[in-house]
Amino acid sequence: MRIVIIGPTHPYKGGITQHTTQLAHTLCALGEQVHIESWKNQYPARLYKGQLTVPADQPEMPEFPNVTRELCWNRPDSWISSARRAARADVAVLVVANPVQIIPYLTMLPLLHHGGATVVGLVHNVLPHEHSPWDRPLTERFLKSVDLVVTHSDEQATVARELGAEEPLVLDLPPNLDPQTVPPLVVRSDQASPLRLLFFGLVRPYKGLGILLDAMTDVPQAHLTIAGEFWSPVEETQSQISSLGLDDRVVIRRGYVPTSELPGLFGAIDLVVLPYRSVTGSGNTKMALLFNRPLVVSDIGVLPAEVKGGVGLTFRSEDPTDLARALLQAANPTTYNDLAQHVAAVSHSAEVSWKSYAQGLLERLR
């Protein structure tokens, strides 16, 4: 089939960009004819407080060769020209990272349907974690207008149905990266030895960093690295760290972490913690397992299922006391080493996962 994916690719950064790029590579490897219609200016800068792109000469993964980069959020003429090119394909996949992109997509949809393309809405978050008044009506109209909706969890599929999607396709979110360097497993021998924790990714209120900091006051062996871009004032986090007496146990590494530095980052820690208050799906669970690290996650959304099979522990969401209990449990050498062995037993092949993901999409389309 001739497939056009309309979504972000290099030099944009991050998980959704990596996902778009890997999907294109995998579909091409399966014999499909693939083109990416990407963004030149994805959305107003005020909507994304972090770093939007990586250096042009430092792609996060092999670049996809067949790309047009002309879409601009504030240029309707670019929406129309992109739609006209995409309408020649058999399938157009519209990647939704933020509801603001639905405005261009709604303009493009009549042209895509007129050209005969089957339109797929690939929705990473059906509704964003931090809502705006226009999110629900825009999303509802979009989901009712496309031919197929793809989500990455049963929970998100339920939300999509409530907004008008018919029979959403649920595909398990694959890991975006297939690292060449994987840190060795950690072996703990002492309950009191430092338990090195990692909070990774965007620092936003719904991700619950404050809950983790509160929990650390009851886990004296816990040491934390915070690695990511802050969407709230970093001074607020630094103030909480100081007020809790954690200055000597918390390191803040501000800014986006390039993929080349991920093996070193994960190799220097024991445990990845996701204290989320809200979640629709998280590539960080896959990332932890790719780099041989167990997890402690809140008991909401898809997260408990991500640690089934003994690769992690759960705690009651928004409960620092229960998070401290889980961290102390993980600090126990017997428990930690058992978690690590289960992580080692998990298949880390991103290639296998991506092939299954792409085949699931193609089977539904055919």
334 Cβ contact partners less than 8 Å away, ≥ 6 residues apart: none
The token pair at 25 is 């590579």
352 has pLDDT over 70: no
CA distance 284 to 124: 14
User: Closest Cα partner for 225 from 188, 262, 193?
Assistant: 262
* Peptide bond preceding 62 in cis form (omega within 30 of 0): no
Give the residue carrying structure tokens 């080349």.
260
Looking at residue 338, what DSSP letter applies? H
Q: What is the pLDDT of residue 259?
A: 86
The fold of 195-345 is Rossmann fold (3.40.50)
CA distance 152 to 360: 12
Confidence of residue 202 (pLDDT cuts 50, 70, 90): confident
Q: What is the pLDDT of residue 49?
A: 64
347 has pLDDT over 80: no
- What is the mean predicted confidence (pLDDT) over 311-324? 97
Over residues 182-193, the pLDDT tens digits come to 889 999 999 999
- What is the mean predicted confidence (pLDDT) over 266-271? 96
Question: Does 195-345 match 2-176+350-365 at the fold level?
Answer: yes
User: What are the two backbone dihedrals, phi and then psi, of residue 218, each rounded to the nearest 5 degrees?
Assistant: -105, 5
**Are the beta carbons of 353 and 172 closer than 8 angstroms?**
yes
HEC sequence for 75-139: CHHHHHHHHHHHCCCCEEEEEECCHHHHHHHHHHHHHHHHHCCEEEEEECCCCCCCCCCCHHHHH
**For the chain, what are the domain ranges?**
2-176+350-365, 195-345
User: Closest Cα partner for 197 from 300, 324, 301?
Assistant: 324
Identify the weakest region by mean pLDDT among 3-7, 151-155, 344-348, 362-366.
Answer: 344-348
Confidence of residue 44 (pLDDT cuts 50, 70, 90): confident
Over residues 273-317, the pLDDT tens digits come to 999 998 877 788 988 998 999 999 999 988 998 898 899 999 999
Q: What is the pLDDT of residue 333?
A: 97
Q: What is the pLDDT of residue 346?
A: 81
Decide yes or no: CATH 3.40.50.2000 for domain 2-176+350-365.
yes
* Distance between start and end Cα atoms, the chain: 10
Q: What is the pLDDT of residue 13?
A: 87
Q: What is the pLDDT of residue 260?
A: 86
Q: What is the mean pLDDT of the chain?
A: 92
pTM equals 0.85
- What is the mean predicted confidence (pLDDT) over 89-115? 95
Over residues 216-238, the pLDDT tens digits come to 999 999 999 999 999 888 999 99
150 has pLDDT over 80: yes
- What is the mean predicted confidence (pLDDT) over 129-140? 88
Q: What is the DSSP string of 256-268?
A: ---GGGHHHHHHT
- Count of Cβ atoms closer than 10 Å to residue 75 Cβ: 15
Q: What is the pLDDT of residue 50?
A: 67
Confidence of residue 43 (pLDDT cuts 50, 70, 90): confident
Q: What is the pLDDT of residue 351?
A: 63
- Count of Cβ atoms closer than 10 Å to residue 229 Cβ: 18
Over residues 99-110, the pLDDT tens digits come to 889 999 999 999
CA distance 337 to 331: 9
